[in-house]
A = this chain, B = another copy of it.
Amino acid sequence: MGTFQIDTPFLETIKSLIEQGEDTPLKRKLKSIHYADIAEIIEHLSIDEATYIIKLLKSETTADALAEVDPDTRERILENLSAKEIAKEVAELDSDDATDLILELPEARQEKVMSQIQDDEHVKDIRELLKYDENTAGGLMAKELVKVEENLSVLKCLNEMRAQAEHVTRVHSIYVVDQSNTLKGRLSLKDLITANSRDKVKDIYIPNVDFVTVDQNNEEVAKIMSKYDLEAIPVVNKKKELVGRITIDDIVDVIKEEAEKDYQLAAGISNDVEADDTIYELVKARLPWLFLGLLGGLGSVFILQDFESVMEQPRLRNLFFYTPLIAAMAGNVGVQSSAIIVQGLANDTVKGSPLNRLIKEIGLSLINGFALALVIIIFGLIINQELLVSLTIAGSMMLVIVVAALIGTFVPIILDKRGIDPAIATGPFITTANDIFGIFLFFYIAKLILIL
């Protein structure tokens, strides 16, 4: 591994060098460490220590490190820096990261920082990017790209490219535009090198190029880039003018965030939080779903009260002992069904008619339900439970499982059809709904069979 390992002794050294203000050995220690590692080191320091390092090192590295650290840490470091110091960092970043950083500042500071950036072109790019919604291609793209006009000769094109490439970290593709900046296609480096130097760009470019528009959703862009294995995609506005470019590293982040969001929704966490966030943020993210669960629980109190008379008959009391089991089965089955559907919808692998899906879910649940029912009956024999009671419990559990599977399958499908993110219908939402339905169904059927 060519990469750097951060360990406790190393961190201790850094901390003590900061404390003693030993700038020269500190710089030497941190020299030639990758910005992603600097970011990781910063995460292990206090905010004051982190600020010290940001001010000490060259902003070439620290700017990228700042762009990498956790948003909370970044926000608190930025509070420690002057507008001029922030401007120095922003100036080093590509336009997309620069815009993200500006967006995290309080509005009053944004203008102050912008006015301190020397490069007018950079400020213009940032101002343009600030206009787009964060969750669209416009919010994701950078202005840095290499483009050539179709009427250029290959020779001029090469010079032009060299000049532009100075400002672009990774070239990926050379885009071809017409005089009014409309995207026409792309140039292959291979074709360019083998072309005659007096050929024009328009003679050799590839007109077939994938692109997205500024207002397309982040997730759509991610789907397109990962489907077609693209490492960069040009972004156009409504007039098909080339306005930016999205690279695969940003898409990797989108895919990760998307997966984390779905996972957190399934676990009943409503905001994007991390283990190291403040208690206040964690409560805010967790309490709403717990309230929902509580309301469901109170709902089942009502339902169970209605069946209080069952308690009077010792042979039927066992039904009450099975409530946690029924609730657990209804919840687990519902979460399984909804997770499969939500992932299927996300990956476009849900095919076939609703009727087919209905038949499949019922078949599946009957098989699972039957296997589980057998266990209940055997368990009943072991604990000497009246056979009719066991059969009733087993049978109504099977029905509960079928209903839970149908709710878990069709609620996300219906939400998706209505344009609502189906991921909210996983986890506590489906568990709570299924708990209530399950317990009600179970007692209702059991009472019907056993008392009649």
Which residues of chain A have a CB within 8 Å of any CB of chain B? 1-3, 32, 34, 36, 40, 43-44, 70, 165, 170, 190, 208-213, 216, 224, 226-229, 231, 248-249, 251-253, 255-256, 259-260, 262-264, 266-269, 273-276, 279, 282-283, 286-287, 289-291, 293-294, 296-298, 300-301, 304-305, 308, 311, 317-318, 320-329, 331-333, 335-336, 338-341, 343-344, 347-352, 357, 360, 363-364, 367-368, 371-372, 375-376, 379, 383, 426-428, 431-432, 435, 439
Contacts and interface: CB of A to CB of B under 8 A. Distances in A.
Given A325-B297, A328-B296, A364-B283, A372 B70 contact: no
Given A290-B368, A428-B332, A324 B327 contact: yes
A368 B300 contact: no
Contacts of A323: 320, 323-324
B290 A332 contact: yes
Contact of A266 (B231, B263, B349, B432): B263
A226 to B, nearest CB: 5
Contacts of A2: 208-211
Given A3-B228, A324-B439, 18 more contacts: A1-B211, A2-B209, A32-B208, A36-B229, A266-B266, A279-B367, A282-B340, A283-B368, A286-B336, A291-B375, A294-B328, A298-B375, A301-B318, A304-B324, A308-B317, A324-B324, A328-B432, A331-B431
A340 B263 contact: no
Given A273-B340, A276-B350, A170 B290 contact: no
Contact of A321 (B301, B332, B426): B301
Contact of A332 (B3, B208, B368, B431): B431
A293 B275 CA distance: 27
Contacts of A268: 332, 335-336, 339
A439 B340 CA distance: 30
A432 B1 CA distance: 41
A401 to B, nearest CB: 8
A43 B328 contact: no
A47 to B, nearest CB: 14
Contacts of A352: 276
A324 B287 contact: no
B287 A371 contact: yes
A297 B269 contact: no
30 contacts: A1-B211, A2-B209, A3-B228, A43-B351, A226-B252, A229-B249, A248-B248, A251-B252, A260-B343, A262-B263, A263-B339, A267-B339, A267-B340, A269-B340, A275-B340, A275-B344, A275-B349, A275-B357, A283-B368, A287-B371, A289-B332, A296-B325, A301-B321, A301-B379, A320-B320, A324-B324, A328-B331, A328-B431, A332-B431, A335-B427
B269 A267 contact: no
A22 B426 CA distance: 46
A229 B301 CA distance: 53
Contact of A298 (B304, B325, B336): B325
Contacts of A210: 1-3
Nearest to A234: B2
Which A-B residue pairs are the 3 nearest by beta carbons? A297-B325, A259-B259, A267-B339
A210 B335 CA distance: 41
